Structure 1
Amino acid sequence: MVNPLKFNTTNRSQFFSTVRQRVNVHFKEKGLSPHANGAMWAKATFFMTGYLTLYGLILSNQFGTWTMLAMALVLGAFAAFIGFNVSHDAIHGAFSSRSWVNRLVASSFYLIGANPYVWKITHNVVHHTYTNIPGHDEDIEIAPGLIRVDVDEPLRPWQRFQQWYAFPLYSLASLSWVFRKDFLKFFKKTIGQCDNTNHPRKEYITLFATKIGYYVFFIVVPLLVLDLPWWQFAIGFVLMHMVEGLVLGLVFQLAHVVEGTTFPVPVEGVGMQEAWAVHQMQTTANFAPNSALAAFLCGGLNRQIEHHLFPKICHIHYPVITAIVRQTAHEFDLPYIENPSFSSALSSHYRLLKKLGREPVPVCVSEPAGVPV
């Protein structure tokens, strides 16, 4: 790591030790494992079975063009839900106490054209440590030059309309991920400020082999099997990924780029003025916490606060630890940012994009060893 950014380890740092102790006591008193339970395995099975079934039905060639297109759109949504509900937990090591089980379940990421090794670096290590810090967290670099989130970035004339064109851009996220993002991130010398040059040799092979495998199963095989002209297949393939990209983009943006969240910048020579856990409370937001549908589809990412504090706890348990985290945050006079519904979070995201596209927004001038990833 180049010039590692440090978080304050004393300023209100008792918050994390207190909330962690309370959550641990909860699991111990209830006799619960923090990993996947029967409901979680059933949920994972549902999404994986649905995804593979839709893929098989499309390739069966037994349906009309419009029916296959509809199934392709649903397939795109299921791909996003696998990422949220299956792969994400496993890559964090939250699915099981056994590392080999987590690796096996994490391999579901290959089915949707993504690479778990690259994601672990960019998401588990960089995003979870340097959340919303410009120049460090590349997840807030949504579309450089087009979407302005960093207030130090020059304000361009077209960005006054970014609250409108951001959403179509989000729909391109999956296509970019499958064809560009993993390769770009893998071969970058640094991600944020983290050294990214020492990859195991097997990961080079895995990256290219699994990408080729995805291209074969989702491009070559359908073109050979389906009784469709190539341009109809291309439309279906692109629209499938646009649905997947829009779902992925919205869920991730509503967790960090909404009103109330901050984009702190380090103090030169000092680092961050807050403790890591306090920083997470200032940069992360929940949405639709009482919606069973949001919890089922989003893999707990609608409770992003709990996820960022406890990424190694399976998301199936987030509803029961939410009250503990919220109460402890209030006791320490920390923000607990929450939008009551998906639509209210979407409106908040829209308003923040509009504001960031029209005027400079003040930022907080503000990571620790042992950050949970």
Structure 2
Amino acid sequence: MSNPLKFKDLNRSQFFVTARKRVDAYFKENSISPNANGAMWAKAIFFLAGYALFYGLILSNQFGTWEMLGLALLMGVFAACIGFNVSHDGLHGSFSSHSWVNRLMGNSFYLIGANPYVWKITHNIVHHTYTNIPGHDEDIEVAPGLVRLDPDEELRPWHRFQHWYTIPLYSLASLSWVLRKDYVKFFKGKIGHHDTSSHPRKEYVKLFISKGLYYLFFLVIPFLVLDLTWWQLAIGFVLMHLAEGLVLGLVFQLAHAVEGTAFPIPDENGDMQAAWAIHQMHTTANFAPDSALAAFICGGLNRQIEHHLFPKVCHIHYPAIAHIVKQTAEEFDLPYLENESFGSALQSHYRLLQKLGQPVVEDIKMYSVAD
């Protein structure tokens, strides 16, 4: 049984209909496929080949301890970039018009120790539908009890310091993912209010075999091959995931937990008093929209507005359609939240954490629908 929460388009907004028609027209008039182009394939090959290269260089046993540590950190960064640039588009079905290609690209998630099946439930279904809704979107539950991103969560004494300790905590995201998160989500029974009590039998097999193979290739084989002690190997493994986790955590949080984004709650009937697309405009933000480096590294996730509205469009096209979305939002008097740079987005996230560590945060809970 799926979540009964509904989005009610009380004002019969034509925003998303208009934006979708204009975006579709852009691709048709320019004879462009909304899927991957040559630049996208080049990015995918670059990050996958780089990840494999670093792994091979480490296993060659031709480098000193410090050099291998540097390679491990680079592997962590490239693992995050594979998630952003390859797996994410594949799992959304936007990489190609061929399902087998999307499946292959999505399965690159296994290379970084994550489970594609669990991700499609938690991210594609739950997060993309119920963005920033407390009790529904578990992506805002970074570390329940320790980090407060839900304005209705009980305020604890240590929350007033969370703007200092939360960002370093993001480094643990990848370790948690590889060692704990997928198992917990898989056997949880519910993610938010979405029923996950029943899974296909093959997914049980895939979960344990893929995790076992990851541990084999990243713990057992290096221990047998490298001239390292077990604790040196453990340090390298942990630091690789700390680098990966910090990159992953920051990119995802800067898209939904910055000043201006709302954390709305359902009404007394359990419904949202807005259309789904309008809800996305109030709960999602872009950062560094004009940075070619951010676009290259983040796989378009620095343009989360375009991604949330058009997840079936490959992220390589987001810069081209962004002006369409922004213009349409302005016409319908809707917010189009952006931070000009990564640094300004990080500062905004810091200030929001600081604000959420205080008792009164009513102004960030709801949004008004005035179009």
TM bucket (normalised to shorter chain) is over 0.9
Task: Name the SS of the counterpart of 1:302 in structure 2.
Answer: coil
> Hey, what does 2:261 align to over in structure 1?
261
Query: Deviation of residue 83 (structure 1)?
Result: 0.1
Task: Tell me the number of residue pairs that the alignment of Structure 1 and Structure 2 aligns.
Answer: 366
1:48-59 matched pairs, under 5 angstroms: 48-59=48-59
Aligned to 2:303: 303
> Among the aligned pairs, what percent are the same residue?
73
Contact 1:255 1:286 in 2 (8 A): yes
Of stretches 11-20 and 293-302 in structure 1, the one that deviates more from structure 2 is 11-20
Equivalent position amino acid for 1:88 in 2: H
SS at match of 2:6: coil
Tell me which moved more, 158-167 or 299-308: 158-167
1:1-373 equivalences in 2 (<5 Å): 1-269=1-269, 271-362=271-362, 363-364=365-366
Task: Give per-residue Cα distances to partners, 1:213-239, cap 9 Å, x unaligned.
Answer: 000000000111110111111111101
Structure 2 equivalent of residue 371 of structure 1: none
**Which letter does structure 2 place at the counterpart of 1:92?**
H
Local SS of the residue matching 2:290? coil
Runs of 4+ displaced beyond 6 Å? none
**TM-score, normalised by the number of residues in structure 1:** 0.97
Distance 1:25 1:57 in 2: 47
2:213 counterpart letter in structure 1: G
Pair 1:116–1:236, CA change in 2 (3 A): same
| CA deviation map 1:259-286 (0-9, x unaligned) | 0000000001150001000000000000
Query: 1:196, 1:5 → 2: CA distance?
Result: 16
Q: CA RMSD in A?
A: 1.0
**Retained in 2: the 8 A contact 1:8–1:275?**
yes
> C-alpha displacement at 1:10, in angstroms?
4.0
Letter in 1 for 2:16: F
Contact 2:299 2:315 in 1 (8 A): yes
| 1:198 CA drift (Å) | 2.1
CA contact (8 A) 1:12 1:278 kept: no
- Contact map agreement 1:267 1:365 (CA 8 A) in 2: no
Aligned AA (1:78): F
Check conservation: 1:186, 1:196, Cα contact below 8 A.
yes
Distance 2:328 2:292 in 1: 24
> Structure 2 length normalisation: TM-score?
0.97
Cα distance in structure 2, aligned partners of 1:233 and 1:149:
35
| SS in structure 2 at match of 1:347 | helix
Unpaired segments ≥5 residues, structure 2 = none
Deviation at residue 359 of structure 1 after TM alignment: 2.4
Q: How far apart, in 2, do the equivalents of 1:50 and 1:63 lie?
A: 17
1:105: how far off? 1.1
Q: Aligned letter for 1:307?
A: H
| CA positional deviation for 1:2 | 4.9
* Structure 2 counterpart of 1:364, one-letter code: M
Q: Aligned pair in 2 of structure 1 residues 182, 3: CA closer, same or farther (>3 Å)?
A: closer
